[in-house]
Amino acid sequence: MNTGELQNKVNWPVTSVIIMGTFLQALTGNIVNVALPKLMAVFGTNANDIQWVLTAYMMTQGIIIALAGYLGDKYGYKQTFVFALIAFTLGSFLCGSAFNFNMMIISRVLQGIGAGIIMPLGMAICFRVTPISKIGMVLGVWGIAGMATMAIGPSLGGYLIEVASWRTLFYINVPIGLLAIFMGITLLPEMEKKATTTFDTIGITTICIGLFCLIFALSKGNQMGWGDPVIVAMLFVGIVNLLVMVVHELRCPEPVLDMRLFKDKLFTLSTITSSFIQVAMVVVVYLFPLFMQSVLGQTAMQTGLVLLPSAVVTAIFMPISGKLFDKYGARYLVLSGLVIMAVSSYAMKDFNGSTSFSTMMFWLSIRGIGIGLALSPAINVGMVSLPKESTGTASSLGNVIRSVTSTFGIAVMTNLMQSRSTFHYANLAQNVVLDKADGLQMLSALQGIGLNAGLGAQGGQILSMSVLYKYVSQQSMVMAISDCFIIGAVLCGLAFILALFLHDQKKVNVAAGGSDIAEVK
């Protein structure tokens, strides 16, 4: 095998370690949500307190994502990634063994530390060990891990709770984690550490405080109220610290997050475009289960089964789009994917209680094709424009921005859904006409049911009115979620406009077997 063939060979053993670690991290993100009602009963907490099972993990992960690239550069990518696998696996075991609520929260923080390193560092390792001409295909295969967990997570979680115990949701990670640790120690190559002479104390402090406060405010704002003094203070402290961080990092010779990377226009545009795509994606990821369970009364397992085909389709198209990215570049893949996402998201506005599951699965699967085509190339096109030694901090920077914008998007969509639901409820309630033939017939039928049940005339009337207004409430929620799906389509349109300015970078193999990059206008 000649030098050129060696340089263009994909290191699949290393990639398999990254895929396994990503699968672990993503599975937890998609499986734990369904256990919240059970955990609330087990630990005797209320609905507000149990949310800390998610919030503690999410806040820790968001902070560590920002530090992952710096830690990899300073202590070595192999050592840091293996440490992350150990922390995540140990955290999973402790979560499954938790005997009280405080132990569960502490264990979730440990899980979040591992998860925050696995994603950005895994991407950076892929860029460092993979030939630039093959990076799209490798990252497409890597992305299957995340999509697979979206497909099986909710269904598996619901199944395990029904037939086993909530503890198995966490214990299931332990054998996979131990195997990933062994593979990481034996298969991951040693990578050169970046020589650092200073420790960016100001950068680390402002990043941790800023992200902690901002993520807390965004995740708790709808619950506590955006005018709550705690939320206002957290937003203020978070934004101020992040502004100080940006100014400091631009001047720091060895920053934790190298903000100077945004001088690369393609990386900047890629980060903004992929953030829009990710927010458009989480609109449905967040709202569709709410529609299925809260409005239609379906179980988490049934919801997962409806979502399964779309996740499988996305997983199939991610390596295909990666292969096409390696050959043709990103622009037209991203544009075509966004058109598909926009059309399917707009079609989903017509989902209601009478929509068949097959129709839902069809449009979700079409949307899955768009995600598979658009998301990974939108991220990759910015990363390939940077030197390999910058991929660690660039991966952290891009991931933390996408994480914060996704959290912000969920907060905005939740607030929008609540306000639109109130608006539609008021309109529907005002327009309920009970003195027409149809209205009187419906009331008469409901009162008859009440009389047959032995409720009496007054009880039958109360039953009929409560059923009527429950229907109005349900319809207002359906209409509010429909409005949010339209917003998701609009976000795809905005991302489409940005993607028009993506100048593809097409890989060109040179005679010596290396690779170069030529810009295709």
Tens-place pLDDT, residues 66-114: 888 888 888 889 999 999 999 999 999 999 999 899 999 999 999 999 9
Integer CA distances (angstroms), 161 to 55, 154, 165, 297, in order: 21, 11, 5, 18
Calculated CA dihedral for residues 506, 511, 515, 521, nearest 10 degrees: -20
What are the start-end ranges of the H helices in 188-264?
Answer: 201-224, 229-251
CATH 1.10.10.10 is the classification of domain 262-521: no
* DSSP code for 262: G
Tens of pLDDT, residue by residue over 121-153, are 988 898 888 888 888 888 888 888 877 777 677
Residue 47, pLDDT above cutoff 80 = no
Give the model's pLDDT for residue 84. Answer: 95
Burial of 458 (0-12, 13-18, 19+ CB in 10 A): exposed
Provide mean pLDDT across the span 249-277. 90
CA distance between the termini of the chain: 35
- Backbone angle region of 454, left / alpha / beta, with phi > 0 → left and psi within -120 to 50 → alpha: left
> How confident is residue 486, by pLDDT bands cut at 50, 70 and 90?
very high
* Spatial distance between the Cα atoms of 101 and 95, rounded to a whole number of angstroms: 10
**Beta partners for residue 509, in sequence order:** 515
Which of 345, 343, 325, 344 has its CA nearest to residue 334?
325
For domain 1-196, give its CATH number from 1.10.3720.10, 1.20.1250.20, 2.60.40.1150, 3.40.50.620: 1.20.1250.20
Mean pLDDT rounded to a whole number for the chain: 83
pLDDT over 70, % of the chain? 86
- Considering 187-196, 231-240, 301-310, 394-403, the range whose residues carry the highest mean pLDDT is 231-240
Residue 339, pLDDT above cutoff 90 = yes
Half-sphere exposure (Cβ direction) of 12: Cα atoms closer than 13 Å: 3
- SS3 assignment, position 519: strand
Q: CB-based contacts of 253: which residues, under 8 Å, 6+ apart? A: 198
Tens of pLDDT, residue by residue over 176-201, are 999 999 999 999 988 777 766 577 88
* Spatial distance between the Cα atoms of 161 and 384, rounded to a whole number of angstroms: 43
Give the model's pLDDT for residue 86. Answer: 96
- SS3 assignment, position 191: coil
Give the model's pLDDT for residue 399. Answer: 87
Cα radius of gyration rounded to whole Å, the chain: 25
> How confident is residue 1, by pLDDT bands cut at 50, 70 and 90?
very low
> How confident is residue 257, by pLDDT bands cut at 50, 70 and 90?
confident
Q: How many CB atoms lie within 10 A of CB 5?
A: 9
* Sign of the CA dihedral running 448, 449, 451, 457: negative
* Spatial distance between the Cα atoms of 291 and 175, rounded to a whole number of angstroms: 34
Q: Got the DSSP string for 360-429?
A: HHHHHHHHHHHHHHHHHHHHHHHHTTS-GGGHHHHHHHHHHHHHHHHHHHHHHHHHHHHHHHHHHHHHHH
CA angle 449, 455, 456 (to 5 degrees): 95
> How confident is residue 520, by pLDDT bands cut at 50, 70 and 90?
very low
Tens of pLDDT, residue by residue over 421-437, are 888 888 877 665 555 55
> How confident is residue 414, by pLDDT bands cut at 50, 70 and 90?
confident
Residue 451, pLDDT above cutoff 90 = no
* Spatial distance between the Cα atoms of 296 and 77, rounded to a whole number of angstroms: 46
Look up the pTM and report it. Answer: 0.81
* DSSP code for 323: H
What amino acid occupies position 463?
L
Residue 63, pLDDT above cutoff 80 = yes
Tracing tokens 């009963």 back to the chain, one arrives at: 41
- Considering 9-18, 37-46, 73-82, 335-344, the range whose residues carry the highest mean pLDDT is 335-344
